[in-house]
Structure 1
Amino acid sequence: MLGVVPFFGYVGLFLLLPVGVLAVEAFRSTDPVTFEETWSTDSVVAVTGGAYRRAYLGSLELSLVTAVLGAVLGLALAVAVLRTRRGRLLRRLVLTASGVLANFGGIPLAFAFIATIGNAGVLTAFLQDALGLGLGGFTLYSMTGLALVYLYFLVPLMVLTIVPALEALRPQWREASDNLGASGWQYWRYVGGPVLAPPVIGATMLLFASAFAAYATARALVGSSVPLVTLQIANALSSNVVVGSENLGKALALGMIVLIGVVMAFYAWVQGRTQRWLS
């Protein structure tokens, strides 16, 4: 029992306490003249409309698109690697690379893409100077460009998450299905699909949460040109707000925590169902 005390202390100090502070400060308001603080719901109401609402919608759109694309591409890559004959070495290489790339984000990732396919990037310059080609109107400094950058670390994260579930599919299930005369489609429709659905959905939720919470890459790549809630929080906390509205950033952060909490609760529920199937 004493062994888990440090863990609960860590959770309470670095997770529960900050969330509690945000929950309190989000319902505080500062008078712009007297700077007197009072209880108010003005900040919470303000973040549900205008530019803040567009920021939430932008983050939700970006996270949903990149999570679905990352899940599809990552699942396809994981299946291809596991089905490769004599693919033990290939599987090791892919999993090792995925572990590295899934954690390669932030400002270094943004500058890597800028140096490669930015307006003056190496690949952009090569296509224009050597081949006389362009990027077809594509720009890295947009929602589409940001989604491409996010996929760079979301696809490897999907591979790492889904490979254990794919490996847990028992060969005996396929053999029993074949012995009973089922086709490949019937096997995936009634056996493999239902077993894999919970981990795939759970992994997609994990990708969604990762994309929704990402900040440094978006900040370095698009600045404030793309409406994202993480960028709005940074602007508010760095005093880029009107006098008396300092708690807007905390209200935005609280809304973000609530959304991520809902997603992760659903992820935990799906993972529980997955363990029941694969145990």
Structure 2
Amino acid sequence: MSVADAPAASAGAGEADLPGSGPRGVAEWLRGTGRNGFALLGLVPFFAYTVVFLGLPTASVAINAFRTAHGTWTLHNISLSFEGIYRDAFVTSLKVALCTSAIGVVFGGLFAQAVLSTRRNTVLRRVVTTASGVFANFGGVPLAFAFIATLGTTGMVTRMLHALGFDLSSTGFSLFTFSGIVVVYTYFQVPLMVLVITPALEGLRPQWREAAEGLGASAASYWRLVGLPVLAPALLGSFLLLFGSSFAAYATAWALTSGTVPLVPIKIGTLLSGNVITGGENLGKALGFEMIVVIAVAMVGYVLLTRRVSRWLR
């Protein structure tokens, strides 16, 4: 072999050693590409559904929030949404969301830990998990009707308490006020918290508690110094998820109060139906755009915190 042929031979040898080279390597690459292509093809219906039923309506709301009824661009809708009854609606919605989310995190977390302290694969765990899934998704008009039939003015529990000489209204509680909405929302917030926090609680290593007890730590010290710091991102992420769920709820509050309690979703529904202000559809879309921003911030925070929890509890 001549000196001139040596570089060519070396290059050919290097190419032959590369993974995926040669006819067999090309065939394997094509088969892998085909499998990936078919996998991506299976996602087309999902992406199409997301674009048509989520992306396009969201874009329409965001655009029309900054337009007048005549199609000109304006910031009047946004500024008006922070005034008067609409500002009060935002404040009330935030109060309901914060209150019910805090209640859900506390009681849902304690309930989930109490269930997980039992033996694995017991009937209790399966029943609690199944029931939590059902209760967390039970809402809307049926939930409002169930509470009206139970704790309403002529509800079953209300009449039973009245027969025992106790008037529920004397405590200042009414199902059709702010406190009533908090009670009803708590019904699905606590089960939702059980579902969300259970994987994080299961990720706590038993060895951590054994090591803490071996060093003389009490149960309270373990939770204060080990358990809660590890669970802090999961708890905060769960709070954000519950916040979004409560902040965006509409049908339950509307069926329960008929709009007497000012909430942002109810105000949006009223504006879009044209019952208050003629041509106020874009004002309703401005409120909807602001709700989208609030929910988006909450969900981004939830995703980021969930990723951190997954890294810590591997």
Q: CA deviation at 1:191?
A: 2.1
Tell me: higher relative CO, structure 1 or 2? Use CA pairs within 8 A at least 6 residues apart.
1
1:33 match: none
Identity %: 55
- The Cα of 1:167 is off from its aligned counterpart by 1.1
Tell me how far apart the structure 1 counterparts of residues 216 and 154 of structure 2 sit (CA, whole Å): 59
- Name the residue aligned to 1:11: 50
User: How far, CA to CA, are the matches of 1:120 and 1:196 in structure 2?
Assistant: 43
Does the 8 Å contact 2:141/2:255 carry over to 1?
Answer: yes
The Cα of 1:224 is off from its aligned counterpart by 1.5
Q: Which amino acid letter does the alignment assign opposite residue 166 of structure 2?
A: L
Aligned 8 A contact 1:29 1:245 in 2: no
Instruction: Choose which of 74, 78, 83 in structure 1 pairs with 2:112.
Output: 78
For the pair 1:51 / 2:78, whether they are aligned, the reply is no
Of 120, 126, 145, 2:180 maps to 145
Is residue 26–residue 43 contact of structure 1 (8 Å, CA) maintained in 2?
yes
Could you tell me whether the CA contact under 8 Å between 1:67 and 1:208 is conserved in 2?
yes
Please show how residues 115-134 of structure 1 align to structure 2 within 5 Å: 115-128=149-162, 130-134=163-167
> Compared with structure 1, are the counterparts of its residues 181 and 26 closer, same or farther at alpha carbon in structure 2 (3 Å cutoff)?
same
The count of corresponding residues between Structure 1 and Structure 2 is 273
Residue 81 of structure 1 contacts residue 87 of structure 1 at CA under 8 Å; is this kept in 2? Answer: no
Per-residue deviation, 1:92: 1.2
The residue that corresponds to 2:245 in the other structure is 210
Alignment correspondent of 2:225? 190
Check the 8 A contact 1:29/1:244 in 2, yes or no.
Answer: no
Q: Any stretches of 5+ residues in structure 2 without a counterpart? A: 1-39
**C-alpha separation between the residues in 2 aligned to 1:181 and 1:73?**
28
Once the two structures are TM-superposed, the CA of residue 127 in structure 1 deviates from its matched residue by: 1.7
Runs of 4 or more consecutive aligned structure 1 residues displaced over 6 Å after TM superposition? none
**Displacement of 1:168:** 1.3
Aligned counterparts of 1:15 and 1:199: Cα–Cα separation in 2: 27
The answer to whether residue 308 in structure 2 is matched with residue 273 in structure 1 is yes
Between stretches 6-15 and 160-169, larger displacement belongs to 6-15
2:271 is aligned, of 236, 253, 273, to 236
Go from structure 1 to structure 2 and tell me whether the alpha carbon gap of 1:174 and 1:238 turns closer, same or farther (over 3 Å shift).
same
Please say if residues 272 and 280 of structure 2, whose CA atoms lie closer than 8 Å, have aligned partners that are also in contact: no
Find the counterpart in structure 1 of residue 60 from structure 2.
21
1:230 CA drift (Å): 0.3
**Scaled by the length of structure 1, what TM-score is found?**
0.93
CA apart distance, 1:24: 0.8
Per-residue deviation, 1:181: 3.7
Q: How far, CA to CA, are the matches of 1:210 and 1:46 in structure 2?
A: 25
Look up the match of 1:258: 293
1:110 aligns with 2:144: yes
Q: Normalized against structure 2, the TM-score is what?
A: 0.83
